[in-house]
Every structure is written in structure tokens, then in C-alpha cells.
Amino acid sequence: MSLARVAALVVLELTALMRDPFRLTMVFAVPTTLLLLFGYGLTLDVENLKFVALDSDRTPQSREYIEAFTHSRYFQNRGLVESDRALEHLFRAGEATVAVEIPAGFGRDLKAGYHTQVAIWIDGTSPFRAETARSYAEAMHLAILGRLARETRGEAVEIIPASIEMRFWYNQSLESKYAFVPGIMAALLLVAPAMFTAIAVVREKELGSITNFRATPTTRLEFLLGKQIPHAAISFLNFIVLSLLTVFLFGVPLTGSVAALTVGALLYILCATALGLLVSSFAKSQFAAILIATIVTVLPSFVYSGLMIPVSSLAGGAAVIARLYPAMYFLDISVGVFTKGLGFAALAPDYVALAAFLVVLIAAAAAFLPKQEA
């Protein structure tokens, strides 16, 4: 392998990029903009659930029950409805997520100490929201009961004889951003580098300039490295920008080892660009390269990386794909270093996995790139 030839190819690629200022700007602006949007926008804090009530009782007790819901920040009051049909309509239109239906006689039964029921309806379309809404509603119900019982019968009621104390570690307020922002960075550092590298190679094929490679002593590996290195370098700059934003703009403290994060990012970016090289070897045209790169990076990097759902609870094919994909390993490193304060030792398996990916991806890309036209 001739380093001089690789260097010449790197300079060539960078020059082409410098002469396209719009593209150069976008290469940095796109990941930054996406981090800002997703960092603020992706949050699992379920609040403002649309709440409606159907009060067939209309006693002080039933009103108090409903008010407890409407005064909570978790529920957003959408008012009272008069009939089952109206309730049905609101659910169908997606205008209600949680509804409480209080039967006639509720207040009377409660005072008399009879057993009575309230119906709580939840829209199950989105399972995560439904599950969270259900636990809010249950907790709310228990709290209200204690209060109602005290007021109507004047005695304190111990409903449950023990308590469960909860501590949320690494992220005490259970705010999504501490886990999400470093994770989003991991996803973005896969999508953009893979896409750009793939296009850079296929572009030469499509516009015919690949004859320069075919007609010179340049080897396959030299050609691929010449494409990969400039895009990896740009992505590494992007990594620095995104990390600074994570710490200074989003206020996510970097509690672990900076060196561990940097080494991980370097390996990962090389994997991402190598994935782009592999895509380029399958793609006949830029058209195909963009579509294939989009299909194999955009959704998988967010969905199968552990960003939304921990990899340990993925099932079936998704669990397999997640492990055969570099994103989860760097997500482990990124979240581990930022939020859990980890260093090299705790993350060793992730580095090994990324290094293995790198070797396999480059070898596969070189094997698939024909030196001669078939």
C-alpha cells in the first residue's frame, strides 16, 4: 500500500468538498440541527394526557374525584362529557387519552361505606403511553381514595401496609435528556458518515471518474481508504461539535473518561464510514446508494441501538439485528461515559466489538469492489 497515493486521494476528496461550500456547510449543519431538534424534542416524560370525565353522580365527592385528576400536571383537562356516545366520539377522534366515568350513587355509597366502582378508560393505541397513563391513573386513584375516606368518614385509612421507595440512579429526575442526548449523538454519527461515504464512492462509478482508479496502479484498499479517511475526519469534527453541544447546551455532564469517549468515537466513526463503503459496493448508482444507505441507517440507528428501548428487552430478529449493528456498542460507550461516569475498563467489550466490525466491514467492502468492470 502506498501512503502517498492514499494521501493524494484524500486531498482530492477534500478539495472536491471545499469547492462545494453548500455541501460543506450542510455536512456540519445537518447533524448539529438534528441533535438540537431531537435533544429537545425526544422525551419520554409523559405529561398533559388528554383527560375527560363523565360524571353521572354530580355530588361533591364525584367532583372532588375528578378535580384531583384535572389539577394534576400529568393530565390536561378536556372538560366533562354528557353521555357515553360523546365519550366514544372523543376517543375515536383521538381527543381523549384517559377518561373517568363515575356512576350515579357514587357519593352516597362512599358515605355509607358500600363498595362502589369507577371506570377508567385508556386509549391503548400507543402501548407506552397507555402503560404510563395506567400507572398514573392507579396512583391517582389510591391517593384520592385516602383523601375521600378521611373527609367522608373522618378516619385515616391505611390502604397499603408497606411502602415502596424508589430511587432513580444516574438520572434522578428521570429526565430523558441524560440518556437521550448522548444516545442521539451516537445515532447521528452513524447515519451521516455512512451516507456521505457511500455517495462519494458511487458518484465516481456513476459519473465515470472511477476510470482514474481502474487505469492507475491504485489498489482497492487505497481507493477505499482515500474515500473513507476524509469523511471520517469530518465526522470526527462533528463528534467534537456534538459533544460540546451535549455538555454546554443541554447541560448533560460528562462524568466519565474523555479519553474513553474519544477512542470509542474514533472506532465508531471508522465503522460508520466503512458501512458506507460496503453500501457503495452494492449500489449501482447514487440513486440506489442513497436509498440503501437510508434504509440501513436511518431507522436502525435509532430503533435497534438501544436509544428508544434497551437492547436487553428487544426480542426476536430485532435483538439479533441490534447485536449485528455497530450503533448499540457506541451508544453503550456514549451513555456510559456521559451519564454513568464509566471508563475504559467497564466498556472493554464494546471496544472489542467495534474493532471487529471495522475489520469485517472494510474487508467486505474491498472484496465487493471490482477492480475491473465485470
Sign of CA dihedral 253, 256, 258, 264: negative
Q: Pick the binder of other proteins from 11, 58, 67, 92 (CB under 8 A).
A: 92
**How many residues lie near other proteins (CB under 8 A)?**
126
Gap between the Cα atoms of 199 and 51, Å rounded? 49
- C-alpha torsion angle, residues 156, 135, 51, 175 (rounded to 10): 110
Q: What is the DSSP letter of 158?
A: -
Nearer to other proteins, 215 or 345 (CB): 345
C-beta of 310: minimal distance to other proteins in Å? 4
Residue owning grid cell 456498542: 329
Q: Which stretch binds other proteins (CB under 8 A): 2-10, 33-41, 220-228, 264-272?
A: 33-41
C-beta of 301: minimal distance to other proteins in Å? 10
Question: C-alpha distances in angstroms, 361 versus 113, 228, 267, 324?
Answer: 70, 12, 12, 11
Angle among Cα 83, 85, 90 to the nearest 5 degrees reads 100
Gap between the Cα atoms of 35 and 32, Å rounded? 5
Q: Pick the binder of other proteins from 155, 172, 248, 373 (CB under 8 A).
A: 172
C-beta of 82: minimal distance to other proteins in Å? 18
Nearer to other proteins, 287 or 356 (CB): 287
Q: Is 273 helix (H, G, I), strand (E, B) or coil?
A: helix
C-beta of 2: minimal distance to other proteins in Å? 27
Neighbouring C-beta atoms of residue 175, cutoff 10 Å: 14
Gap between the Cα atoms of 325 and 329, Å rounded? 8
C-beta of 328: minimal distance to other proteins in Å? 12
Instruction: Mark 40-59 with x for binding to other proteins (rule: CB under 8 A) and - for no binding.
Output: xxxxxxxxxxx---------
Residue 283 as a binder of other proteins (CB under 8 A): the answer is: yes
Gap between the Cα atoms of 356 and 192, Å rounded? 21
Residue 33 as a binder of other proteins (CB under 8 A): the answer is: yes
Q: Which stretch binds other proteins (CB under 8 A): 4-12, 173-181, 247-255, 260-268?
A: 173-181
Cell numbers given for 354: 467495534
Residue 5 as a binder of other proteins (CB under 8 A): the answer is: no
C-beta of 254: minimal distance to other proteins in Å? 14
Residues 336-355 that bind other proteins (CB under 8 A): 336, 339-340, 342, 346
Nearer to other proteins, 221 or 318 (CB): 318
Residues 209-248 that bind other proteins (CB under 8 A): none
Residue 169 as a binder of other proteins (CB under 8 A): the answer is: yes
Nearest one of 332, 341, 338 to 311, comparing CA atoms: 332
Q: Pick the binder of other proteins from 160, 215, 324, 374 (CB under 8 A).
A: 160
Residue 59 near residue 31, CB atoms below 8 Å = no
Residue 292 as a binder of other proteins (CB under 8 A): the answer is: yes
Residue 131 as a binder of other proteins (CB under 8 A): the answer is: yes
Residues with Cβ within 8 Å of residue 213, at least 6 apart in sequence: 204, 223
Gap between the Cα atoms of 277 and 274, Å rounded? 5
Q: Which stretch binds other proteins (CB under 8 A): 21-29, 78-86, 232-240, 259-267?
A: 21-29
